[in-house]
Amino acid sequence: MSTILIEPLTAANFAPFGQVIELDGAGHYPINNGMTERYHDLARIELGGEQSRPLISIFRGQPYALPLALHLVERHPLGSQAFYPLSTNPWLVIVAQDDAGTPTALRAFQPAPGQGVNIALNTWHGVLTPLEAVSDFLVVDRGGDGNNLQEHHFDVPHTVRHGQSTDG
């Protein structure tokens, strides 16, 4: 069993997996006669496959406790998947690199309040993982023809937690 330590989420450390969605540093401009500030083009939505279309959904996630036993990750080979929290409740983003179809080098990030993520097309990631409370998320992902879900179940679960690693 390996331990995955939770890291703070930054645009730089998440870049191999997609984009961080946040207002800090984002391009913006006034609209609606100056009454609204538009924070523009915060993530690259990717849609592949036949008859693809963007979906906008609300996901309501039940909270997980730490340490977390991570049994599976998934990926979407035909589209990106963006998650933006609708509260300031804590949550985790778990991602992995790909090694010939197998997730490897897993990482866990804890977004700050007001941060979301856009997980790139075909990137291994954990399921929606709110902490402490039931939490709602605005989700933008792909609808359309084709199988857009692959799951990988670990023979031995990984442990996700705060603190120092116990790996040898």
Measured CA to CA, the distance from residue 22 to residue 1 in angstroms comes to: 34
Beta bridge partners of 20: 117
* Residue (of 91, 95, 122, 119) closest to 106 by Cα position: 95
Beta bridge partners of 3: 159
Q: Is 120 exposed, middle or buried (0-12, 13-18, 19+ CB in 10 A)?
A: buried
Task: State yes or no: cis peptide before 90, omega within 30 of 0.
Answer: no
The whole-number average pLDDT for the span 63-84 is 98
pLDDT for res 168: 40
Measured CA to CA, the distance from residue 121 to residue 78 in angstroms comes to: 6
- Beta-strand relationship, 81-85 and 91-99: unpaired
* Residue (of 120, 138, 143) closest to 128 by Cα position: 138
Measured CA to CA, the distance from residue 45 to residue 81 in angstroms comes to: 8
109-167 pLDDT, tens digit each: 999 999 999 999 999 999 999 999 999 999 999 999 999 999 999 999 999 999 764 44
87-108 pLDDT, tens digit each: 999 999 999 999 999 999 999 9
- Torsion sign, CA atoms 105, 89, 45, 149: positive
Q: Provide the CATH number for the domain formed by 3-161 in this structure.
A: 2.60.120.480
